A and B are shown apart, each in its own frame.
Chain A
Amino acid sequence: MSHPHSSYQFRHILGERTFGFVDLADLMAKATPARSGDRLAGVAAHSAEERAIAQITLADVPLKLFLQQALVPYEDDEITRLILDDHDKQAFAPISHLTVGGFRDWLLSDLATSEVLTSIRSGVTPEMAAAVSKIMRNQDLILVAKKCHVKTAFRNTIGLPGHLSTRLQPNHPTDDLTGIAASMLDGLLYANGDAVIGINPATDNVQQATRLIKMMDEVIQHYEIPTQSCVLTHVTNTIECIEQGAPVDLVFQSIGGTQATNDSFGFNLATLAEAQDAALSLKRGTVGNNVMYFETGQGSALSANANHGLDQQTCEARAYAVARKFNPLLVNTVVGFIGPEYLYDGKEITRAGLEDHFCAKLLGLPMGCDVCYTNHAEADQNDMDNLLTLLGVAGCTFVMGIPGSDDIMLNYQTTSFHDALYARRALGLKPAPEFDLWLAKMEIFKNNEQFILNHQLPDAFHKSLHKMIGGKS
């Protein structure tokens, strides 16, 4: 690092010393705020000083360079091709003269109104978003994301400013319908579930997915809930479910930011296009046609040995190019699920959650966050409270809701039904408007404005609950 070398594309002289970075990928990686996954990949800065120098150097890089130098070769990777082939030069024009550092100033400036940010989003590539995020502080990530408005719809409208939706996640370790129904009831009566009622199946096959899809469809129809369901099974399973006539609302897939990552997940862009077409053909949306639900998370590319020497946050941002190609209803960064080898502790999880939310929103995605941690990470409930609050301020699209923060199937902790209500009360965030009306109609909320729940069990649920547990004992 201390000697100049002709193979360095970027150099920075500090006093007597010259810091060098071999290429754009190296510069991006070394400018990334510290995290365990980049150390694992061997791409992180070797010192705090080198990281700061990398950030100063990255700030001088023109945004245009990202259109000239692909971080993963165009010939090798269909996501690079997607990013460059779909780049909107007209939308890019107003920011085309900027450097990465200038882009940060511009994003924070009063020039970048919500309307302007919407108009440039198809001119921003994932790499540009990732680059600028690396030199932004947490408050910058929050403030700019808050200005980015992304609205989507299926049976309700998601992403309006001042709103926060929740995915009701009634997972059960044996996919037991009674257990799932118990968690669904709990969630609905705690006013959760407007983003989606989404189950991670314990047994991942077409038959089981169909069974769970039908079960949720029956509940949604019975109570006339303005929401949608999803079973988080492999995209090829969902295609089969649709072929067999299952009432599929949303198609799920975990996605990564390189073609090789997605190969490891067993799909490619053509698979997603086929699935989107199949779901659209069912015409099940009532107020909109966003039929895809994607999940992402820093570290997935490295985990599949498919990171091409990139840092994990840049890989993550590239996954958003995949997502935005298919107009999803929801995208969810499952930030603390992957474990301490990628995000070591509460501080790294918090930073990653804010970066992912910012980059996705800047690129025009309905980004939610699974504010979560595993029992082998250095994190606890207080870290989750902090990130939930920060994301609520940032205008996060949705968070998870599960009973008592304990996912008994996936074995990790995420935000609870109670947590979502905390965010509503602390920050004044309302559920999707159609769902909010339903909560009032069902008398789940006694007061929708102040988020006060009914002390009484709402009438509509008496019969089913009585059947299950009887009345007063």
Chain B
Amino acid sequence: MSQDTTHSDKSFPTHPHTEPVTENAWSKLNAFTDARVGLGRSGISVPTKHLLAFQLAHAQAIDAVHTQLDAKRLAEELSAQAWAPNAAPFLLHSRATDRATYLQRPDYGRRLDEHSAHILDQHSAENTAEYDLAIAIVDGLSSLAIEQNTLPFLQALFAHLDTNATNKSNTKSNTKTNTNKHAPWHIAPLCLVEQGRVAIGDDICERLNAKCVLVLIGERPGLSSPDSLGLYLTWGGKVGYTDAYRNCISNVRPAGLVYQEAARKAFYLLTEARTLKLSGVKLKDRSDDDLIMDTSKESKNFLIT
């Protein structure tokens, strides 16, 4: 094969017409994306091996939805971290008693059950300190996402937060001027929630009288990503708030938005929310504005030659 044959048909030989399956010359593009590109075709249909691989992935995703979160074990793991808030995490449950109810009654998943509400109310009654931030860790539709991503993400986030005296490892005093960006964060005990939805963070925020709430929640599992974590920030979360009051960071996982990046964005939004005293559509995520995003400097995508 000659050296400069980029326009020659020989560069991308295709199967003879007598083969029932036509392979795609671009099938190797699957090295650059998890998307199911270059599957080839039987006529115009998906070839058998890819059809069956899809069926297996779907079966696994269905199973992921129904796996229960081991909240106790996660609470123990989190408590053992040097950066974690001093107080033991709260183990909470929504009003959805089981997964079947959870799937059909999102309203139950948005509210704490009586026992959980009582735990938080009692804490607030006994605790006069005002919290800057509550963190709710919620199973959502993928307990796998929570079990896999919670600890490393929070570790990355707490590296940004000056938690002055609320955590165990705080030994250095904050010598910087107390600007908003560097003001310490007084963080409520972590809240672990089973059978919860995003809005349960508002219930928690209100009961703990926290200034804002960050919800970590298992997103609906995809075929290629059963482990995707979503982050939702609400300033002054109150029961009944709609999504317009929230900012979202999606797809936090090793193969998606990596922990350091997710933590950087979350910290940006937290800081902005505290400065502006709001969240949602009026709080634009400009966390990338100081990066080099000039598309003339970014390399063109490979389709542009």
CB-based nearest B residue for A208? B288
Say whether A266 faces chain B, with CB atoms less than 8 Å apart.
yes
Contact indicator B301/A173 (Cβ below 8 Å): no
Judged by a CB distance under 8 angstroms, whether A65 is at the interface is: no
Beyond known contacts A211-B293, A211-B295: 4 more, CB 8 A cutoff: A179-B33, A181-B301, A219-B304, A456-B12
Contact, CB under 8 Å: A467 / B305: yes
Query: Within the assembled complex, what's the spacing in Å between the Cα atoms of A215 and B105?
Result: 41
Q: How far is the CA of A178 from the CA of B35 in the complex (A)?
A: 11
Interface presence of B221 (CB below 8 A): yes
The one of A215, A374, A418, A455 that contacts B46, using a Cβ cutoff of 8 Å: A418
**Quick check: B304 and A218 within 8 Å, CB to CB?**
yes
CA distance in complex: A208, B13 (Å): 37
Residues 426-473 (chain A) with a chain B CB within 8 angstroms: 451, 453, 455-457, 459, 461-469, 471-472
Contact B281 A203, beta carbon cutoff 8 Å: no
Contacts of A344 in B (CB 8 A): 104
Interface residues on A, range: 35 or more
- B220 with A412: CB separation less than 8 A: yes
Among A303, A381, A402, A461, contact of B54 (Cβ-Cβ < 8 Å): A381
Which residues on the B side are within 8 Å of A222 (C-beta)? 303-305
Q: B11 and A472: CB pair below 8 A?
A: yes
Partner of B305, one of A40, A264, A341, A464: A464
Q: Sort chain B's interface into a size bin.
A: 35 or more
For window 50-81 of B, CB contacts with A under 8 Å fall at 50, 54-55, 57-58, 61-62, 64-65
Whole-angstrom distance between the alpha carbons of A453 and B223 in the complex?
28
Q: Which of B17, B25, B242, B302 contacts A178, CB < 8 Å? A: B302
- A258, chain B: closest CB distance, angstroms: 12
Check A205 for interface membership: any CB of B closer than 8 A.
yes
The answer to whether A40 and B105 touch (CB under 8 A), given A202-B251, A408-B224, is: yes
Are B1 and A264 in contact (CB-based, < 8 A)?
A: no
A339: B residues at CB distance < 8 A: 103, 220
Contact status A472-B10, CB under 8 Å: yes
**Given contacts A181-B301, A264-B244, A455-B22, are A408 and B54 in contact (CB under 8 A)?**
no
Provide the residues of chain A in CB contact with B12, threshold 8 Å: 456-457, 462, 465, 471-472
Which residues from A are CB-within-8-Å of B150? Answer: none
- Sort A-B residue pairs by CB-CB distance and give the 6 closest, nearest first: A404-B36, A411-B222, A471-B11, A266-B281, A264-B242, A179-B33
Q: Is B44's CB within 8 Å of the partner chain A?
A: yes
Partner of A469, one of B9, B26, B141, B244: B26
Across the two chains, which residue of chain B brings its CB closest to A265? B244
Summarize A's interface: helix, strand, loop or mixed.
helix
- Choose one: B29, B250, B256; the contact of A468 (CB below 8 Å): B29
9 A–B contacts from the bound complex (CB under 8 Å): A36-B104, A205-B287, A375-B62, A375-B221, A412-B220, A418-B45, A422-B44, A453-B41, A471-B12
Cβ of A118 within 8 Å of any chain B Cβ, yes or no, is no
Asked if B24 is an interface residue, CB under 8 A from chain A, the answer is yes
Q: How distant is A415 from chain B, measured CB to nearest CB, in Å?
A: 12
Q: How near does chain A come to B33, taking the closest CB pair, in angstroms?
A: 4
A416 within 8 A of B: yes
CB distance from A155 to the nearest CB of B (A): 18
Residue B184 at the A interface, CB < 8 A? no
CA distance A205 to B283 in the complex (A): 10
Give bound CA distance, A177 to B5, whole Å.
Answer: 26
Cβ–Cβ < 8 Å partners of B172 in chain A: none
List the B side residues contacting A60 at CB < 8 Å: none
Interface pair B301/A206, CB less than 8 Å apart = no
Residues of B close to A375: CB separation below 8 A: 58, 61-62, 64-65, 220-223
CA distance A452 to B12 in the complex (A): 19
> How far, in Å, is B224 (CB) from chain A's closest CB?
5
Cβ 8 A contact of A340, one of B103, B285, B300, B305: B103
Chain A positions 378 through 402: 1 when the CB is less than 8 Å from some CB of chain B, otherwise 0 = 0011000000000000000000001
Count chain B CB atoms within 10 A of each CB in A36, A170, A265, A469 and give the residue with the most: A469
Q: Which of A304, A407, A411, A472 contacts B243 (CB 8 A)?
A: A304
The answer to whether B301 touches A406, judged by C-beta atoms less than 8 angstroms apart, is no
A203 CB to closest chain B CB (Å) equals 7
Contact A186 B303 (CB under 8 A): no
**Cα of A422 to Cα of B286 in the assembled complex, Å:** 43
